[in-house]
Chain A
Amino acid sequence: MDRQIPIIDIQHLTRRFNGKAALDDVTIQFPRGHVFGIVGENGAGKTTLIKHILGLYRAQQGSVSVFGMDPVRRPKEVLSRIGYLSEQPDFPEWMTIAQFMNYMGAFYAKWDASYAAKLVEEVNVDPHKKIGELSKGQQARVGLCAAQAHRPELLVLDEPSSGLDPVARNEILAAVIRTVVEDGRSVLLSSHLLDEVQQVCDHLLFFSQGKVLLSESMEAVLEKHYQISVRISAPLAWQALPGVFKATQDGTEWQLFCFADIAQLTNLLKQQGAQILDQRRLSLNEAFLARSPQRHILSEVA
């Protein structure tokens, strides 16, 4: 495989439903060998993006390329290299687990039957049970086995942990890590469980209202998000400050939320006559709340 070609290349992708933009001029590139986390509020466009990557949506504007191919024109070639698990998998409930793995294995040339059997054994369910007889968590874990057993180059997990207990969530995280340690493989994880994303992802995409607000390495996201408290008597043109994306005012005191080089920013503030009262690094959860348009609701709940 050509490691120079990005595993996913999305250029100016726009998708509208009934006139409303679910994705608005999205341009992203995913290099190989990384774990990408997509976070965003409900309806931000995460699943729509994933459906474009899987070829289930045709690009209305812009282009989508996966492994250097159009997933709509060449679904067989693209999907055979992807492992996919959705939030609500609609697996055939009448199949037994053994039948399901047998059925899934037929599609993939690289299907490793012994690896599949080992994965199913780890789930600790009778392989002769029907899928419909399994709990939601067990179904997700079986689905994950099927998504991994052909050692896909790209593992796509769309909100896989929703409604699952901590044990099942750990299984999924373990699967992600297992996939990553193998050479050259990538994971795309969409989730609203930020601790989960922080734990396994090395690159983060903030999505909001169909737009990419931030695409950075996890390290940068955690190191460069700050909340700074300043006091200043003169008016503060915070929009002009580099990296400041939100500010709240209480008299002469300001709370600034930024994604920036903190030393450079504080120097700039001091030059404008501001007194730095406090500065602290934001957790991923706080950064998400600060960036989300629905932050006020979330903050109240929190």
Chain B
Amino acid sequence: MYRAPVAALTAELFGKNRWAIIGTTLIPPLAWFAGKAYLGKLPIAPVGAATPISLLILMGCALQFALIFAYVDLTAGSKSGGFPKHILLLPAPTWLLALVPIAAGASFTSGFVLLWLYYVSGVHFNWAQQLIIAAAITSLMCWLQAMSWELLPSRAMRIVLLTVMAIVAVLSVVSLLANESENLFGRTWGAVGLAVTAITGLGLAYLAVIRARRGDTLDFYDHVRRILFSSGRWSRQTRSPALANGVAAQNWYEWRVYGRVLPTCMTILGAGPLASVAFARIRHSPSFVLPALLLFLFFVIAPLVGGAYVSKNLTRRVQLGLFGATRPLSDTEIAFAKLRLAVKSYLVSFAILLAVVVVFVLGSSNNAALVSLWSRLAVWQGVTGSYLSLLLLLIVVTATSWAAGAYFMSLQLFAESVDRKKHGWKISLGVTALFFLLLDIGGRLYRSRASALEWLQSPHYELLIVPVLLLGMGLCLLPRFQSLDTLRTLNRPASSVGAGAALCLIAVWQLNLAFGYQWALSWLVVTVALLTLIPYLLMPVLVGMNRHR
């Protein structure tokens, strides 16, 4: 009876997303083999264990699967998800429309997570335990579907609720899987939590699809808003801020559209470690894996979504649509609004992250490792030197993030400057080949490290010539911005930031060897300051060029 609609739904689901599904399925084994082939030769943690990187890949792929099978994803741009909305017009029962994507998403994600845990992390679960994990993933799929349909007025509230439910589901699973002696909440509460998330999620997802299919999502939305926010305190009328002038208006606009994404990401990521603090057994065996993972993620995500300039379409970081370009502001004012957004977004995110790490460390009741690290640093650098080193570390991290942002920006601009339909597959192949080539070069360098270190132990002043030449080239290119093709021209200086950073660090090394610590430190400060400033300085130029093509 339901064979035909299920077949039609499945065809829609897998027809549109087959490459995304195949790609997501293939990434983990490819990464695993690549790790075996290259990283396995290095004396680091054995490949195959649950390293932060492997956990990152697991989380990324699981999220990707969930989004493929969602109607609408929860990214910043709110772009259409993997499951097309026009499916609501198919002659199929509504419960099938609600259940098929959930079932497909839950089975794919569960299968993926369980296989990963078994083969990569070496964690063995019995059938009952596997079912518990699958049930938790299914309930999260239900909530993801439900939150896709604007059952709550703002996206931030939907994301927060989804995060809360994710935490409840994870806590429930851990409570059900942990030994009774180590269990904080107990299995009964774990079972209750899992049942509540699954049943409410499924009900809400079904309700949301019914409403959406009838075409009265917006009415329903208003209805819910009236019930929940009838006091008027939260109503939309109160949300128009007093904007003194155009600059204030643009600052408000930039922050509303782009600025909150990175802090939100950090809050969501931070919620995991904070929730884990609640577990008694973590107190007994403190782990710095999660904060380390958070820091790692931040530095990966920041230049992409917040450090430079975030947008639903990342290439628009330096482009202006008609609406943006026709605001009666000078180029400098627009650029400063973007820079202000970037700085604010970055700082807020960093503050959130630091707060999470501090709470985590304090909550773990075991900061011996940190105290030990600080003592060793103080012995080596002195107390002032240690603070200075920490400060420098922060600056280096910021600069690296900005340089990476500029580099990614240049890649996006390069992609914009070519006909991707025509040349996209060649670029993909080229980038893949380059990746493996770099891995190979890295391996070769590591194997020849002894001779390389010996060579580097003596000062080579000629290395300073290269950064100077790069700077000269950059200065020569600047006047040509007016006449050359914008996108291709920009690719060069932006890419050279990364190369310049590497060369400048070599120069620091050499100065340290030749003239000592103080010279090296001075040069490091200058370099880092320049690297941090370069993207800032580029931004007004980029805005001007993209506004007046």
Q: Which residues of A contact B (CB under 8 A)?
A: 54-58, 72, 75-76, 78-80, 82, 84, 86, 89-92, 94, 96, 98-99, 102-108, 128, 133
Q: Given the complex, which residues of B lie within 8 Å of A90, measured CB to CB?
A: 321-323
A128 and B253 form a contact (CB under 8 A): no
C-alpha gap A99/B252 in the complex (Å):
11
Q: Is B331 an interface residue (CB 8 A)?
A: yes
Q: Is B249 an interface residue (CB 8 A)?
A: yes
Q: Which residues of B contact A (CB under 8 A)?
A: 218, 235-237, 239-241, 243-246, 248-249, 252-253, 256-257, 321-323, 325-331, 333, 547-549
A259 to chain B, nearest CB (A): 35
C-alpha gap A104/B327 in the complex (Å):
9
A79 and B327 form a contact (CB under 8 A): yes
C-alpha gap A33/B326 in the complex (Å):
23
C-alpha gap A20/B249 in the complex (Å):
39
Task: Count contacts between A and B, CB distance < 8 Å.
Answer: 82
Q: Given the complex, which residues of B lie within 8 Å of A98, measured CB to CB?
A: 236-237, 240
B548 and A72 form a contact (CB under 8 A): yes
28 residue pairs from A and B, CB less than 8 Å apart: A54-B326, A56-B322, A56-B548, A56-B549, A57-B548, A58-B548, A58-B549, A75-B547, A76-B328, A78-B328, A79-B326, A79-B327, A79-B329, A82-B328, A86-B322, A90-B322, A91-B323, A98-B236, A102-B240, A102-B243, A103-B252, A103-B253, A106-B249, A107-B245, A107-B327, A107-B328, A108-B246, A108-B328
A99 and B240 form a contact (CB under 8 A): yes
Q: Given the complex, which residues of B lie within 8 Å of A92, measured CB to CB?
A: 253, 257, 323
Q: Given the complex, which residues of B lie within 8 Å of A58, measured CB to CB?
A: 548-549
B432 to chain A, nearest CB (A): 30
B75 to chain A, nearest CB (A): 14
A99 and B321 form a contact (CB under 8 A): no
Q: Given the complex, which residues of A lie within 8 Å of B547, measured CB to CB?
A: 55-56, 75
Partner of B243 from the list A78, A82, A106 (CB cut-off 8 Å) is A106
C-alpha gap A128/B327 in the complex (Å):
23
Partner of A106 from the list B218, B236, B246 (CB cut-off 8 Å) is B246
Instruction: Closest B residue to A56 by CB, please name it.
Output: B325
Q: Given the complex, which residues of B lie within 8 Å of A55, measured CB to CB?
A: 547-548
Q: Given the complex, which residues of B lie within 8 Å of A80, measured CB to CB?
A: 328
B421 to chain A, nearest CB (A): 16
Q: Given the complex, which residues of A lie within 8 Å of B252, measured CB to CB?
A: 103
A128 and B236 form a contact (CB under 8 A): yes
Partner of A75 from the list B243, B253, B330, B549 (CB cut-off 8 Å) is B330
C-alpha gap A228/B219 in the complex (Å):
61
- Main SS of chain B's interface residues? helix
B417 to chain A, nearest CB (A): 13
Q: Given the complex, which residues of B lie within 8 Å of A54, measured CB to CB?
A: 325-326
Given contacts A56-B326, A90-B323, A133-B218, contact A103 B249 (CB under 8 A): yes
A143 to chain B, nearest CB (A): 9
B323 and A89 form a contact (CB under 8 A): yes
C-alpha gap A114/B248 in the complex (Å):
21
B330 and A107 form a contact (CB under 8 A): no
Given contact pairs A56-B325, A91-B323, a sample of 20 additional A-B residue pairs in the complex whose CB atoms are under 8 Å apart: A55-B548, A58-B549, A75-B328, A75-B548, A76-B333, A90-B321, A96-B236, A98-B237, A98-B240, A99-B239, A99-B240, A103-B249, A103-B252, A106-B246, A106-B248, A106-B249, A107-B245, A107-B249, A107-B327, A108-B246
C-alpha gap A197/B331 in the complex (Å):
34
B249 and A76 form a contact (CB under 8 A): no
C-alpha gap A82/B549 in the complex (Å):
20
A151 to chain B, nearest CB (A): 14
Q: Given the complex, which residues of B lie within 8 Å of A106, measured CB to CB?
A: 243-246, 248-249
Q: Given the complex, which residues of A lie within 8 Å of B235, measured CB to CB?
A: 128
C-alpha gap A299/B321 in the complex (Å):
37
C-alpha gap A81/B281 in the complex (Å):
66
C-alpha gap A102/B236 in the complex (Å):
13
A128 and B246 form a contact (CB under 8 A): no
B139 to chain A, nearest CB (A): 29
Q: Given the complex, which residues of A lie within 8 Å of B331, measured CB to CB?
A: 75
A128 and B237 form a contact (CB under 8 A): yes
Instruction: Closest B residue to A70 by CB, please name it.
Output: B548
C-alpha gap A75/B546 in the complex (Å):
13
B447 to chain A, nearest CB (A): 49
A57 and B549 form a contact (CB under 8 A): yes
B77 to chain A, nearest CB (A): 11
A247 to chain B, nearest CB (A): 41
A89 to chain B, nearest CB (A): 7
A-B pairs, top 6 by smallest CB distance, nearest first, are A106-B249, A106-B243, A79-B328, A80-B328, A107-B246, A102-B240
C-alpha gap A92/B323 in the complex (Å):
8
Q: Given the complex, which residues of A lie within 8 Å of B322, measured CB to CB?
A: 56, 86, 89-90
C-alpha gap A54/B324 in the complex (Å):
12
C-alpha gap A107/B252 in the complex (Å):
12
C-alpha gap A79/B548 in the complex (Å):
13
Q: Given the complex, which residues of A lie within 8 Å of B326, measured CB to CB?
A: 54, 56, 79, 82, 84
Q: Which of B248, B322, B547 has the most CB of A within 10 A?
A: B322
Q: Given the complex, which residues of A lie within 8 Å of B248, measured CB to CB?
A: 106
B479 to chain A, nearest CB (A): 15
C-alpha gap A106/B329 in the complex (Å):
11
Instruction: Closest B residue to A88 by CB, please name it.
Output: B322
Q: Which of A82, A99, A105, A108 has the most CB of B within 10 A?
A: A99
C-alpha gap A90/B246 in the complex (Å):
19
B175 to chain A, nearest CB (A): 39
C-alpha gap A55/B549 in the complex (Å):
9
C-alpha gap A103/B253 in the complex (Å):
8
A103 and B237 form a contact (CB under 8 A): no
Q: Given the complex, which residues of A lie within 8 Å of B549, measured CB to CB?
A: 56-58
Instruction: Closest B residue to A72 by CB, please name it.
Output: B548
Instruction: Closest B residue to A60 by CB, please name it.
Output: B483
Q: Given the complex, which residues of B lie within 8 Å of A89, measured CB to CB?
A: 322-323
C-alpha gap A76/B244 in the complex (Å):
16
C-alpha gap A79/B334 in the complex (Å):
14
C-alpha gap A236/B481 in the complex (Å):
55
C-alpha gap A72/B549 in the complex (Å):
10
C-alpha gap A107/B257 in the complex (Å):
18
C-alpha gap A55/B323 in the complex (Å):
13
C-alpha gap A90/B324 in the complex (Å):
9
Instruction: Closest B residue to A108 by CB, please name it.
Output: B328
Instruction: Closest A residue to B483 by CB, please name it.
Output: A60
Q: Which of B248, B257, B328 has the most CB of A within 10 A?
A: B328
B173 to chain A, nearest CB (A): 35
B329 and A76 form a contact (CB under 8 A): yes
Instruction: Closest B residue to A130 by CB, please name it.
Output: B236
C-alpha gap A283/B138 in the complex (Å):
67
C-alpha gap A89/B257 in the complex (Å):
17
Instruction: Closest B residue to A150 by CB, please name it.
Output: B328
C-alpha gap A275/B321 in the complex (Å):
58
Q: Given the complex, which residues of B lie within 8 Å of A102, measured CB to CB?
A: 240-241, 243
